[in-house]
Structure 1
Amino acid sequence: MRGPVSTARRDGLGTLASRMLQSGRRLVDEADLIVPVPLHCARRVRRGSGQSGWLAQDISRLSGTPVMVDSIKRTRRTSTQGSLSARARPRDVAGAFTITRRAATRISGRRVLLVDDVLTTGATVSARTRALKQAGAANVDVLVLARVVRETDVTI
């Protein structure tokens, strides 16, 4: 049953990755390495799976920019971000991520493109960006498929 479920979750992602590449072409071209945002630690998934991983792999395939999955790991449990207020999210994920030793050597001095499927408050992306910078990334850009906008959000 894993095949049909996996296929259903991937339907259309190639097209969406192509659109992301069109929109973020400059960022992709400038990147030395693409890193997907991993799924929540409570989920058990295959290496590189999940929407962000699949999008990153498709962008890599289309652009030729190398992708590195499984480079970011959690150092402690965090809450599911959807259950927290926008104010609580940054506190919850602060210091919760690190870069694997294997990944740190490839990230150091490089321009990294962090790929995510949905950006809500930016707390998780910010925490992961800090981890990449602490591992020595020269620059971190972020490319997301969708941005959640709420009526109370004045940042747009």
Structure 2
Amino acid sequence: MGLRAILSEGLKPALDLVYPPRCPVCGDATGKQGALCLDCWSGLSIPRDPQCASCRSPLGTESIAVGARCAQCLVKNPKHSGIFAATFYNEVSRKLILSFKHGGKIGLSPLLGRMMAARLPDIEDGELPIVVPVPLHRWRLWSRGYNQAALLASELVRGGKGRLCVDALERTVATPSLGGLGKKARAKVLKGAIRVRQSRVQEIRDQKVFLVDDVLTSGATTDACVHALLKAGANSVRIACFARVIDDAVVKGSAQTLDMEEQLGATK
């Protein structure tokens, strides 16, 4: 244990005395700093099998065979190599994200990062992937003071999930808020707004990449990032996020997956 860790452990009792541990969601007492209470932990929606083999969205029935894909991926193959979410977006994860992203509670990054790391696959062939955060435009970074995706990416690297390249991507256009826009409108706003920094192209080329964000909603932002990384020569891009928004239609549509697979298989 390093000196920093020893000092941190030694100061915990004093910190707990001055600032008793509280759940960041509901404010109830907890056993240690940066932890959720039992009720809020139970309120999180954690992804479980069966999942789509391509995008890892939930499939509607346990009877679906391993390797099955959701209806959306059967219609159009995603460019990314899988989405690994710590939670699905619900009331508990929403409060955590709002506190972390807009409430300035960057002390939540270790908790969120650990939960994300637990969902990521093991390192393959001993080759560490490059961990790249979704970028903020410099004006947004200046006004917020930090990039929440970069903090989460740092936690994944601290957990041994890859090598950090915090400035691999840059947002060249100060895009407006995407809230309230549909997927096509979001994609139009983001077209050409994100690229791989020229000084990082060689570092990205032929590498496996983990793209990190806090919340994945329509996927328009991550799609733009994936496109830029693959264009720069990345071998593959997997997406890691804390919370993933899942439309009820996705879950309902997944129940039709087996029928679609049979139909598509018959026409090949």
> Pick from 112, 124, 132: which aligns with 1:16?
112
In the alignment, the residues of structure 2 paired with residue 77 and residue 50 of structure 1 have an alpha-carbon distance, to the nearest angstrom, of 15
Q: Which has the higher contact order (CA 8 A, sep 6+)?
A: 1
CA contact (8 A) 1:27 1:141 kept: no
CA distance in 2, matches of 1:147, 1:30: 27
TM-score (norm 2): 0.50
What is the aligned residue count?
150
> For residues 1-156 of structure 1, what are the structure 2 equivalents within 5 Å?
8-26=104-122, 31-45=128-142, 49-63=146-160, 65-151=162-248
In structure 2, relative to structure 1, the CA distance for the partners of 1:117 and 1:64 (3 Å cut) is: closer
Shift of residue 131, structure 1, vs aligned partner: 0.3
Cα pair distance change 1:53/1:39, threshold 3 Å: same
Range with bigger deviation, 7-16 or 142-151: 7-16
Structure 1's unaligned 5+ residue stretches are: 1-6
Unmatched runs of 5 consecutive residues or more in structure 2 = 1-102, 255-268
CA gap of 1:130–1:98, structure 2 versus 1, over 3 A, is same
CA contact under 8 A between 1:27 and 1:113: conserved in structure 2?
no
Identity %: 33
TM-score by length of 1: 0.82
The structure number with the bigger radius of gyration is 2
Return closer, same or farther for 1:76/1:12 CA change in 2, 3 Å cut-off.
Answer: closer
CA RMSD of aligned residues (A): 2.8
Of 53-62 and 96-105, deviating more is 96-105
